[in-house]
Amino acid sequence: MYKIMTSDLDETLLRQDGSISQANIDAIAQATQRGVKFVPNTGRSFLSVQALLKQLHLYQQPNEYVVSYNGGAVIENQGNRVIVSNAMPYAEAAQVFTLMQQFDVDIHVYTLDHLYIYRLRADDRDYLATRGVAFTEMVGDFRQFKDDQIMKVICMNPDLTVRQNVYQAVTAAFEQINCTYSSGIYMEVNHAGVDKGNAILALGDRLGVSAAEIIAIGDNANDLGMLTKVGMPVAVANGIPAVKRVAKLVTPHDYERGVADAIETLILR
């Protein structure tokens, strides 16, 4: 019945230390053997998930894909070929960056192929180290990105009140823009209409797969865009209440083997 399974990474497929359990690896292998395409769907860059793709036997494979930057890009694994790009307009990204500078946050600027961090926090550096994420500390002003594809701009502070204040400032400044929370520490900004759901539906259209034939698995607010658009939305046990409310299936386990639970229930039985 299902042809694509798309899953968030951090705190859904991956443990808090950034590793993936053998239970999840084995279940994904069984699903792919049955012809179900497994598509990681992450806020991160596609370049930061190459080691994971090797573990899942999807590395550099033709007709296998990653959705990255919260839907900002869809990448074919073979050659890391960009097949869909939904960049932020430069003026929009620059305004978001300026607004974020007013708050006690560090700021990530994602171009198509690199991450730059302004005012890097030590706790953010420690978190990114568990994910193997490469970055450059930003020097100079935002104009350096004038000729780049800017995929998203996000800020980090573990204090929810700070992130909510940034969220309110950004949403008040634009008639339309997509702001979401992720990983309990980030507030993320993409161009309006760009989310994980629209990206996986666009990939499905290219592959002849309908929304009803797609499973999506997530845990946090930036996953709602895909969970509300696919035929089978799944929340792992550690998902936030808003994610569990839209899910048709809540797994009995968290990121340790929640993806395996979903595969066993929806594909292998």
What one-character-per-residue DSSP string does the chain give? ---EEEE--BTTTB-TTS---HHHHHHHHHHHHTTPEEEEB-SS-GGGGHHHHHHTT-TT-TT-EEEEGGGTEEEETGGGEEEEE-PBPHHHHHHHHHHHTTSS-EEEEEESS-EEEES--HHHHHHHHHHT---EE--S-GGGGTTS-EEEEEEE-S-HHHHHHHHHHHHHH-SS-EEEEETTTEEEEE-TT-SHHHHHHHHHHHHT--GGGEEEEE-SGGGHHHHTTSSEEEE-TT--HHHHHH-SEE-SS-TTTHHHHHHIIIII-
CATH of 4-86+194-268 given 3.40.50.1000, 3.40.50.2000, 3.30.930.10, 3.10.580.10 = 3.40.50.1000
Please indicate whether the domains covering 4-86+194-268 and 90-190 agree at the CATH topology level. Answer: no
Q: What is the pLDDT of residue 269?
A: 87
pLDDT digits (tens, 9 = 90+) for 141-152: 999 999 999 999
> Structure pTM?
0.90
Counting as low any pLDDT under 70, the low residues of the chain are none
pLDDT digits (tens, 9 = 90+) for 125-141: 999 999 889 999 999 99
Structural fold of domain 90-190: 3.30.1240
Q: What is the pLDDT of residue 158?
A: 97
Domain boundaries, the chain: 4-86+194-268, 90-190
pLDDT digits (tens, 9 = 90+) for 86-116: 999 999 999 999 999 999 999 999 999 999 9
Q: What is the pLDDT of residue 159?
A: 98
Q: What is the pLDDT of residue 254?
A: 98
Q: What is the pLDDT of residue 47?
A: 93
